[in-house]
């Protein structure tokens, strides 16, 4: 059994070790790496049983990223033997550095090694470490155990330990590795002269019978490499390219001279350092690296993204602009077509009638809101003694000490606020009229209870510069962007967020804006009226021709994620400005957002491009923390759900979603209500709820406190109709009135369902 370690807490550990607020990412990689330019440390994901093992591995990988030069391994990549020796010695160096800088991880190293040793991670079961292993493996175990392991070193081998202790830089690692490899080759040559050489366990462990030829050839290539490396030492950099702590890796001249003196004393570099069919490697390190791969979690792949900063100047459209656009558009259309003037006059009358018809319902819900708010306040009331004696209680003085008057204290009411987001995409066409009618009721409800509110519609059609990327999907549009992108940001499209209603509007301006929105709903609701309303064609034509709307307010695609990113910023400003204590954020949409576009990266010249569309679990980063969810449909609801989680948690607000279904058959309904071919008890319950209450509540929709599924057929606003009453009896009238009121309230599902949540 293995346990998933909390990668967020381990990211904090890595940041502390790095002594810098670097970006720490965990992913399905084999080893750690550090992006010097963007300051991103990438670490493997381990599945282990012990916290000590994980902390030891994290500290070790951080040390590699901080102290091991990125280009260092490339210089020795063609020599497997030298690379094996360098790997062991480099581990000795960096582990010493990290434990010296952070003594707290020393205990993790102690416990971690003991656990892995018992699990035979080093492959030394049934081996006599002092006899059956070469020097490089003895050193590996000795230093991995923090010098606690009981290993017998010969006199010459002890000299090597002092050399390893004096290693300061990567250049020292390479030098010591070459000289130690050379020395080990000579020791093997001496062993080969023994009569029982073939029977030694050492020979079997390292395949020494195939390791060296009978002659004593010198690997001239390695010698030349050694000479070349020595010549490089004079001009080598004092620090690695990705070093975050120069003080720990700077090579002092005196230490370097002393180290080199010891190196030449132990091995002079003239012996054979290669040859034969086999390779000299560190078998304990090879075993450890092999088994460490078993600890890697290769199934968990993460896609890290930052949330870009919105550019309000390019994406926000004020209600003044919205109203002026319609005024100009109507003037132009009326000049062109007389029928549009007739429609405009009819529209003003019809909208006024619509508003009056819904006034009683709005007032009813205002009353419900105030009652529920008062009830909530009363639940939080407290009763305290006043310190003033109550004369009516004096008679109880012999058996009660409670003689004081009491005062019930009601806490101050919370300041409420609301923000609404309406989907203005092409797929909303069939349900837009019903949705707009309900939204207008919401607006007047907020106006009546006098709370701060803002209403936005999001659209992809507000600008002719909607393409952020060129046709190759790489270069970022530099002239007009809705967001100020930087490296690591999620790639989003240009879009418009149109403010169509606000508590800041004067009453007459709000009515005018809602009338235009009402007309927009009619425009799409009546698009096919000629084909389906032959019986009412005269009355339809008598009102004139709908003047439509400006082109930039036509329906387009669904930039929901873009809107949520901007709203995340707007909510913070909104709450702070109006001191909002209880806020509700509402989305009205019929489906998912646009597909995921990728992650922004940086070219060498500093320009931006869309670098990747890799798949993986989305991790969205804010200044406070990282957010993710387990939704595999990451490019749609995965991003959307995570963005909503950020809005909900970081701003401490309620999120409510309304999804309008065009019908109860097909994939759209099955997405929430289950397949009609195999319904679970929970799915049946939701479908019954939708049939009975005209709304189904989805409890586990990512990012939402409550998510409502609505049927288009039941979104029409109904008004009380008492014309069917045939009796003049009070009982019959009361019954008919009660029935009509119940149906009227139920029909306004948007108002009726969220009233308890927002109060």
Ramachandran quadrant class, 218 (left: phi over 0; alpha: psi -120 to 50; beta: rest): beta
- Please state the rounded mean pLDDT for residues 255-271: 46
pLDDT band at 268 (very low <50, low <70, confident <90, very high): very low
409 or 59, which is more confident = 59
Which residues is 656 bridged to in the sheet? 586, 706
Are 359 and 445 within 8 A, CB to CB?
Answer: no
Which residues, 6 or more positions from 629, have their beta carbon under 8 angstroms from its beta carbon? 618, 638, 641, 642, 645, 702, 703
Give Cα separations from 265 to 176, 183, 186 (angstroms). Answer: 12, 11, 15
For residue 752, the model assigns a pLDDT of: 60
For residue 388, the model assigns a pLDDT of: 60
Q: Is 271 exposed, middle or buried (0-12, 13-18, 19+ CB in 10 A)?
A: middle
- Whether residue 8 is predicted with pLDDT greater than 60 in this model: the reply is no
Among 679, 673, 663, 689, smallest CA distance to 746 is for: 689
One-letter-per-residue 3-state SS of 690-718: HHHHCEEEECCCCCCCEEEEEEHHHCCCC
pLDDT band at 237 (very low <50, low <70, confident <90, very high): very low
Tell me the pairing of strands 33-35 and 40-44.
Answer: antiparallel
- Give the percent of the chain with pLDDT over 70: 67
- Whether residue 242 is predicted with pLDDT greater than 90 in this model: the reply is no
340 or 701, which is more confident = 340
* Mean pLDDT, the chain, integer: 75
- Please state the rounded mean pLDDT for residues 741-754: 53
pLDDT digits (tens, 9 = 90+) for 602-614: 766 566 666 665 6
For residue 467, the model assigns a pLDDT of: 64
176 or 673, which is more confident = 176
For residue 720, the model assigns a pLDDT of: 47
Are 62 and 32 within 8 A, CB to CB?
Answer: yes
395 or 547, which is more confident = 547
- Please state the rounded mean pLDDT for residues 2-8: 41
Of the ranges 301-315, 680-694, 713-727, which is most confident? 301-315
Q: Which CATH architecture has domain 309-375+413-758?
A: 3-Layer(aba) Sandwich (3.40)
- Please state the rounded mean pLDDT for residues 628-654: 76
How far apart CA 290 and CA 374 sit, in angstroms, is 66
217 or 416, which is more confident = 416
Give Cα separations from 736 to 206, 741, 743 (angstroms). Answer: 96, 9, 11
729 or 34, which is more confident = 34
Of the ranges 20-34, 192-206, 397-411, 488-502, which is most confident? 488-502
pLDDT digits (tens, 9 = 90+) for 378-397: 454 454 455 565 565 555 65
Domain extents in the chain? 3-300, 309-375+413-758, 382-406
Q: What predicted TM-score, i.e. pTM, was given to this entire model?
A: 0.70
Beta strands in 476-579 (DSSP E): 483-484, 496-502
What residue has token string 């002239």? 479
pLDDT band at 438 (very low <50, low <70, confident <90, very high): confident
SS3 3: strand
* Cα angle: 625, vertex 627, 633; to 5 degrees: 165
- Please state the rounded mean pLDDT for residues 643-659: 90
- Whether residue 60 is predicted with pLDDT greater than 70 in this model: the reply is yes
């Amino acid at each position: 059994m293995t346990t998933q370690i909390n990668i967020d807490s381990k990211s904090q550990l890595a940041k502390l070790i790095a002594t810098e607020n670097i970006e720490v990412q965990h992913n399905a990689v084999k080893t750690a790496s550090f992006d010097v330019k963007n300051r991103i440390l990438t670490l493997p994901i381990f599945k282990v049983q012990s916290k000590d093992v994980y902390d030891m591995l994290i500290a070790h990988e951080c040390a590699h990223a901080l102290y091991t030069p990125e280009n260092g391994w490339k210089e020795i990549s063609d020599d497997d033997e030298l690379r094996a020796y360098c790997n062991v010695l480099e581990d000795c160096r960096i582990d010493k550095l990290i434990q010296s800088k952070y003594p707290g991880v020393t205990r993790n190293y102690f416990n971690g090694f003991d656990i892995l040793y018992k699990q035979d991670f080093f492959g030394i079961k049934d081996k006599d470490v002092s006899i059956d292993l070469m020097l490089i493996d003895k050193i590996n175990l000795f230093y991995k155990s923090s010098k606690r392991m009981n290993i017998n070193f010969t006199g010459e081998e002890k000299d090597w330990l002092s050399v390893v202790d004096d290693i300061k830089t990567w250049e020292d690692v390479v030098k010591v590795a070459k000289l130690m490899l050379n020395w080990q080759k000579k020791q093997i040559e001496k062993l080969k002269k023994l009569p029982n050489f073939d029977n030694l366990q050492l020979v079997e462990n390292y395949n020494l019978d195939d390791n060296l030829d009978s002659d004593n050839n010198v690997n001239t290539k390695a010698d030349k490499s050694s000479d070349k490396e020595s010549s490089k030492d004079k001009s080598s950099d004092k620090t690695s390219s990705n070093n975050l702590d120069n003080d720990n890796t700077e090579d002092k001249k005196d230490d370097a001279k002393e180290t080199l003196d010891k190196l030449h004393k132990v091995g002079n570099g003239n012996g054979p350092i290669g040859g034969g069919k086999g390779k000299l490697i560190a078998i304990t390190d090879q075993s450890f690296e092999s088994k460490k791969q078993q600890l890697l979690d290769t199934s968990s792949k993460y896609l890290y993204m930052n949330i870009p900063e919105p550019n309000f100047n390019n994406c926000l459209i004020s209600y003044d602009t919205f109203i002026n656009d319609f005024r100009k558009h109507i003037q132009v259309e009326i000049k062109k077509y007389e029928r549009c003037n007739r429609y405009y006059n009819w529209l003003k009358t019809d909208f006024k009638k619509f508003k009056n018809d819904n006034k009683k319902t709005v007032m009813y819900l205002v009353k419900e809101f105030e009652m529920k708010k008062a009830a909530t306040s009363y639940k939080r009331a407290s009763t305290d003694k006043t310190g003033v004696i109550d004369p009516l209680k004096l008679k109880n003085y012999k058996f009660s000490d409670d003689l004081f008057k009491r005062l019930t204290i009601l806490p101050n009411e919370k300041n409420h606020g609301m923000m609404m987001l309406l989907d203005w995409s092409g797929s909303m066409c069939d349900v837009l009229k019903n949705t707009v009618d309900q939204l207008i009721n919401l607006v007047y409800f907020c106006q009546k209870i006098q709370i701060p509110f803002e209403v936005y519609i999001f659209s992809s059609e507000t600008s002719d510069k909607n393409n952020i990327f060129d046709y190759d999907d790489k270069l970022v549009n530099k002239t007009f962007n809705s967001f100020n992108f930087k490296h690591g940001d999620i790639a989003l499209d240009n879009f418009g967020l149109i403010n169509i209603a606000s508590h800041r509007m004067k009453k007459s301006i709000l009515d005018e804006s809602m009338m235009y929105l009402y007309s927009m709903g009619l425009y799409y609701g009546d698009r096919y009226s000629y084909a389906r309303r032959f019986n009412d064609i005269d009355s339809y034509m008598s009102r004139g021709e709908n003047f439509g709307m400006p082109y930039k307010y036509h329906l387009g695609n669904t930039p929901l994620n873009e809107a949520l990113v901007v709203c995340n910023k707007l909510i913070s400003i909104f709450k702070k400005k109006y001191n909002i204590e209880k806020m509700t954020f509402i989305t009205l949409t019929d489906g998912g957002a646009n597909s995921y576009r990728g992650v922004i990266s940086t070219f060498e010249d500093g320009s931006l491009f869309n670098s990747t569309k890799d798949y993986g679990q989305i991790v969205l980063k804010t200044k406070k923390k990282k957010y993710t969810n387990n939704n595999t449909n990451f490019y749609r609801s995965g991003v959307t759900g995570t963005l909503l989680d950020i809005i909900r948690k970081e701003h401490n607000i309620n999120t409510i979603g309304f999804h309008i279904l065009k019908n109860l058959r097909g994939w759209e309904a099955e997405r929430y209500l289950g397949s009609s071919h195999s319904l679970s008890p929970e799915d049946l319950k939701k479908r019954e709820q939708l049939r009975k209450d005209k709304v189904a509540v989805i409890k586990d929709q990512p990012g939402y406190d409550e998510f409502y599924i609505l049927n288009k057929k039941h979104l029409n606003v109904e008004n009380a109709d008492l014309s069917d009453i045939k009796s003049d009896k009070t009982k019959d009238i009361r019954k008919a009135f009660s029935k009509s009121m119940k149906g009227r309230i139920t029909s306004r599902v948007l108002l009726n369902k969220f009233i308890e949540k927002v109060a």
